[in-house]
């Protein structure tokens, strides 16, 4: 991800009139978008804009439509697509995190008299596009795949989960290759699949397709690991008996089963944003993490709980810097407010190592919070359960273990990176 661009959460709408035309705004790009035609700077974009503090996407979308096209209290339909990435055509480049919703207007009447004044960027006009015009045009329409998405929606197909679109890569005047969703993004570590097809023929099917990367992965599983582990799975079908509860972050790069090379039935895993254990409380809210801890400790009687923090944790960053990448006005903001006691331990909020210190402190805080659960405390005190802290460095795959006496995190392996070092022998969390 481009770290140095400001992250902007944005809501936009595919606004349709009763004739199934799509409303787009023409903007003047700050830079030429076709090297062959330096004078051509027009691009078309959906109405919408950035979230203001405290707003969710739907609220922002409704406000923007009121300001830009004079539609008050528009009914905001489902989110049908997203587009994340650096966007350089506006005056201020940004890392845009865009979410697109469907809005159907009762008629084609819009009032764009305030549009220019509400926009930082030069607006050239607005236009209702028929689907055929959209499909045929060589005008620059952002993002790529919008015409196909609009067609699918008009045909009655709302994607089960939002389609991932990307910004146009092609210069102005070069229509993309016409695939339904040329931009539907496989994950970056997609496994090659010998018979993977580039795309399907209609948007309808494309929407409903199970992600190719998962299909390829499952194919590899049933050809490889499953036969190897068939006996284990058969045995596990009657019940699980893991000895370790692992509490780690949702981050896609920090998968405990991969890091610890474990098979089925070995780890009971809780993953949440920033590997947070909330303090014990008995209020009536929905305590997903606490319920899973309760089941692991009381039901499965695990012998170890490991809290695994990690480098470059977005949840920790969200606490330390609420303006980016995630603001405090949402679920993340409330959740990461639990980082606050850790921040008090992490020392001064400065220096290049601050976030790392905060990641370590959050591991320690989660260990302390675990001890506020009576059933955890009882077992730890009677020697039936041990608590451990660890931290995973993504770039080099380095595992650090927390020394319970000093609170220092040290590498689990020696400098050769092969043999377990002395720290791997260290004991468990102590109060
Ligand atoms: Zn994280």
Whether 368 maps to a domain, the answer reads yes
Same domain for 179 and 242, yes or no, is no
Are residues 330 and 416 both part of a single domain? yes
CB–CB of 121/27 below 8 Å?
Answer: yes
Q: Where residue 130 sits, what CATH number does that domain have?
A: 3.90.79.10
* Cβ contacts of 208-213, under 8 Å, gap ≥ 24: 208/160, 211/186, 211/187, 212/186, 213/186, 213/187, 213/189
Determine the distance separating the centroid of ligand 1 and the alpha carbon of 336, expressed in angstroms: 11
Å from CA of 157 to ligand 1 middle: 35
Q: What is the largest CA-CA distance in the chain?
A: 77
* Residue 337 near residue 397, CB atoms below 8 Å: no
DSSP class of residue 276 equals: P
Q: Report strand pairing: 304-310 vs 386-393.
A: parallel
274 alpha carbon – ligand 1 mean position (Å): 4
Residues in the chain where the model's pLDDT stays below 70: 1-3, 170-208, 284, 323-329, 415-418, 421-431
Task: Report the b/e string of 205-236 with b at 16+ CB within 10 A.
Answer: ebbeeeebbeebbeeeeeeeeeeebeeeeeeb
Do 271 and 173 fall into the same domain?
A: no
Evaluate whether residue 118 is within a structural domain.
yes
Residue that is last in its domain, among 142, 165, 185: 185
Q: Is residue 419 part of a domain?
A: yes
Pair 97, 173 in one domain: yes
Dist. CA 430 → ligand 1 center (Å): 24
Same domain flag for 257 and 352: yes
Distance 403 CA to ligand 1 centre (A): 21
Residue 247 lies in a domain: yes
Residue 378: domain span: 238-425
What is the per-residue burial (b if ≥16 Cβ within 10 Å, else e) of 64-78? bbbbbbebeebebbe
- Does the residue 58 lie in any domain? yes
Q: Is residue 218 part of a domain?
A: no
**Would you say residue 379 lies in a domain?**
yes
Q: Where are the alpha helices (DSSP H) in 209-274?
A: 212-223, 225-236, 256-259
**Which pLDDT belongs to residue 207?**
58
Q: What is the pLDDT of residue 329?
A: 60
How far is ligand 1, taken at its centre, from the CA of residue 213, in Å? 23
Sign of the Cα torsion 230, 231, 235, 240 reads negative
Q: Which of 185, 213, 230 is the last residue of a domain?
A: 185
Same domain, 26 and 168: yes
Tell me how far the alpha carbon of residue 324 lies from the centroid of ligand 1, in angstroms.
14
* pLDDT score recorded for residue 351: 87
Chain length of the chain = 431
Among candidate residues 168, 185, 202, the one where a domain is terminated: 185
Going from the Cα of 224 to the center of ligand 1, the distance in angstroms, rounded, reads: 30
Residues 268 and 171 in one domain: no
What DSSP designation does 92 have? S
Q: What is the pLDDT of residues 367-394, one digit of tens each?
A: 999 999 999 999 999 999 999 999 999 9
Q: Do 299 and 150 belong together in one domain?
A: no
**Is residue 285 in a domain?**
yes
Distance CA 252, CA 72 (A): 40
Cα–Cα distance measured from residue 269 to residue 245, given in angstroms and rounded to the nearest whole number:
6
Q: How many whole angstroms from 391 Cα to the centroid of ligand 1?
A: 11
Angle, helices 212-223 vs 225-236, to 10°: value is 80
pLDDT of 324: 52
Cα of 312 to ligand 1 centre, how many Å?
7
User: Domain total for the chain?
Assistant: 2
Considering the domain architecture, whether residues 248 and 150 belong to the same structural domain is answered as: no
pTM: 0.54
The three-state DSSP-derived secondary structure of 149-213 is HHHHHHCCCCCCCCEEECCCCCCCCCCCCCCCCCCCCCCCCCCCCCCCCCCCCCHHHHHHCCCHH
Can you give the CATH number for the domain in which 311 is found? Answer: 3.40.1050.10
* 311 C-alpha to ligand 1 centroid (Å): 8
Residues 127 and 263 in one domain: no
For residues 175 and 249, membership in a common domain is answered with no
Dihedral angle computed from the Cα positions of residues 74, 79, 85 and 89, in that order, rounded to the nearest 10 degrees? -30
Instruction: Specify whether 251 is located in the same domain as 382.
Output: yes
* Phi/psi-derived region of residue 231, left when phi > 0, alpha when psi is between -120 and 50, beta in every other case: alpha
CA of 87 to the centre of ligand 1 (A): 25
């Amino acid at each position: 991800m481009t770290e140095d661009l400001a992250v902007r959460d944005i809501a936009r709408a595919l606004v349709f009139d009763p004739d199934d035309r799509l409303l787009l705004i023409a903007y003047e790009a700050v830079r030429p978008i076709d090297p062959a035609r330096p004078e051509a700077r027009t691009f078309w974009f959906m109405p919408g804009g950035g979230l203001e503090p405290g707003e969710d996407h739907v609220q922002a979308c409704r406000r923007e439509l009121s300001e830009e096209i004079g539609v008050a209290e528009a009914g905001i339909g489902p989110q049908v697509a997203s587009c994340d990435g650096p966007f350089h055509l506006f005056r201020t480049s940004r890392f845009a995190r865009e979410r697109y919703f469907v809005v159907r207007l009762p008629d084609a009447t819009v009032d764009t008299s305030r549009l220019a004044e509400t926009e930082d960027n030069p607006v050239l006009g607005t236009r209702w596009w028929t689907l055929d015009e959209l499909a045929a045009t060589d005008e620059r329409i952002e993002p790529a795949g919008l015409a196909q998405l609009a067609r699918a929606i008009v045909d009655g197909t709302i994607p089960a989960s939002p389609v991932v679109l990307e910004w146009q890569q092609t210069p102005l005047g070069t229509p993309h290759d016409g695939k339904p969703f040329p931009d539907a993004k496989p994950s970056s570590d997609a496994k090659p699949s010998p018979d993977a097809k580039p795309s399907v023929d209609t948007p309808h099917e494309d929407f409903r397709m199970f992600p190719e990367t998962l299909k390829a992965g499952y194919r590899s599983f049933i050809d490889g690991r499953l036969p190897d582990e068939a006996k284990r799975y058969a045995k596990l079908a009657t019940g699980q008996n893991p000895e370790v509860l692992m509490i780690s972050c949702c981050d896609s790069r920090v998968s405990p089963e991969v890091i610890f090379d474990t098979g089925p039935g070995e780890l009971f895993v809780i993953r949440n944003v920033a590997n947070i254990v909330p303090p014990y409380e008995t209020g009536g809210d929905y305590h997903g993490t606490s319920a899973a801890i309760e089941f692991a400790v009381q039901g499965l009687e695990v012998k170890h709980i490991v809290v695994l923090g990690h480098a470059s944790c977005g949840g920790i960053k969200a606490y330390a810097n609420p303006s980016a990448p995630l603001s405090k006005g949402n679920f993340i903001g409330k959740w990461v407010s639990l980082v606050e006691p850790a921040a008090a331990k992490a020392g001064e909020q400065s220096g290049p190592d601050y976030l790392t210190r905060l990641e370590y402190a959050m591991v320690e805080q989660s260990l302390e919070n675990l001890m506020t659960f009576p059933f955890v405390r009882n077992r730890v005190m009677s020697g039936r359960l041990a608590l451990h802290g660890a931290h995973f460095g993504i770039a080099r795959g380095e595992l650090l273990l927390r020394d319970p006496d000093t609170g220092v995190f040290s590498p689990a392996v020696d400098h050769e990176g092969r043999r377990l070092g002395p720290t791997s022998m260290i004991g468990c969390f102590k109060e």
